Chain A
Amino acid sequence: MSGMWPLWEVFIRARRGMSHIHVGSLHAPDAEMALRHARDVYTRRGEGVSIWVVPSSQITASSPDEKDAFFDPAADKIYRHPTFYDVPADAPHL
């Protein structure tokens, strides 16, 4: 029997109130083991309260070749950012 255990991407929620953040990857034969391994490898110092594991092969990524088309159109929509708007300095809670 050949074949290495597949690769999994590991995401950890460091504290309640935060998003899961990608921390690295590891090899595991299945999802259950991937979770255990992620716990052992990536939370040895109490780094997390929740873990996601995702097979690396299941991630669809945007291509760097298309990055202009993907991301440049957002760059000039400055009205999406709060600093675009002039408001009087004495207007409270804005």
Chain B
Amino acid sequence: MRSGNANSGTRWADAELTARAQPLVEYTLRLADDALVLSQRLGEWITRAPELEEDVALANIALDLLGQARALLTYAGQTEGAGRDEDALAYLRDDREFRNVLLVEQPNGDFAVTMARQLVFAAYQYELYDRLRASADQTLAAVAAKAVKEVAYHREHAALWVRRLGDGTDESRLRMVAGLDAIRPFVDELFDTDDLISQLGAVAVDPADLREPWAAYVDAVLIDVGLELPDPDHTARGGRLGLHGEALGYLLAEMQHLHRSHPGASW
């Protein structure tokens, strides 16, 4: 279908009701929005990376995530059955309808902040997709089987950089410590579980189960260079309920404005 038709005029409140009535749609949107929003953030690095080789590497990761997001959004739209395609879901939902965790919407900061976010998120996504391969839902299982290989690379890329920044120069170490501090408040939300997860049973992966293997990987990387994830002075959550930080509004405004300026147009 062409995005932007009458269906897309659905109010967010209605959409939220629909989503609640359709746990699989809601769950798929969580996975999709995490990938989409992080891809959008990483895309901001292009032409600004510390070295040309790194422009290429970050673009690869952004492209992988965008590919995952597209497959998942398409599937969410099909499952929902209301005629929304990947673009209708990406461009015509408002902030309150986005289901991503707060971590991925955080501004890029310097390269250390971005690498801290990458390490934490890619390690989480790796454990998630690794288990989702066994999902009772065949489409999710297939997306995960492809994505887990991509994410294994993302995780390693982040680990290489966190080691180098953590044990490079005095300046890079300070920045790496600050980077870990900056993203720490948004880590716990990744592992929150809720009714939706239990409702979905063998279709979904329980985020709470990921914490231990995730920590084993992340801690090993950090310990190698004498770093650790600090105790948080506060934690932030709410992304899964569509309660985001202010930054997401600007991210979406930029991402969506052209598409929304031409209702019904094809690109």
Contact = CB atoms under 8 A, between A and B. Distances in A.
A33 B163 CA distance: 12
Given A1-B169, A36-B157, A40-B60, A26 B164 contact: no
A26 B57 CA distance: 13
Which residue among A1, A33, A36, A40 has the maximum number of chain B CB atoms within 10 Å of its CB?
A40
What size tier do the contact residues of chain B reach?
10 to 19
Interface string A1-32: 10001000000000000000000001111001
Nearest to B163: A32
Contacts of B157: 36
B64 to A, nearest CB: 11
Interface in A26-79: 26-29, 32-33, 36-37, 40-41, 44
Contact of A33 (B56, B60, B160, B169): B160
Given A1-B169, A41-B56, A36 B160 contact: yes
A5 B156 CA distance: 20
B233 interface: no
A33 B157 CA distance: 9
Interface in B176-226: none
B51 interface: yes
A32 B51 contact: no
Given A29-B164, A32-B160, A33-B160, A40 B53 contact: yes
A28 B160 contact: no
Interface in B32-65: 51, 53, 56-57, 60
Contacts of B160: 32-33, 36
Interface of A: 1, 5, 26-29, 32-33, 36-37, 40-41, 44
24 contacts: A1-B169, A5-B51, A26-B53, A27-B51, A27-B53, A28-B53, A32-B160, A33-B160, A33-B164, A36-B57, A36-B156, A36-B157, A36-B160, A37-B53, A37-B56, A37-B57, A40-B53, A40-B56, A40-B57, A40-B60, A41-B53, A41-B56, A44-B56, A44-B60
Given A26-B53, A29-B164, 17 more contacts: A5-B51, A27-B53, A28-B53, A32-B160, A33-B160, A33-B164, A36-B57, A36-B156, A36-B160, A37-B53, A37-B56, A40-B56, A40-B57, A40-B60, A41-B56, A44-B56, A44-B60
The 3 closest A-B pairs by CB, nearest first: A37-B53, A40-B57, A40-B56
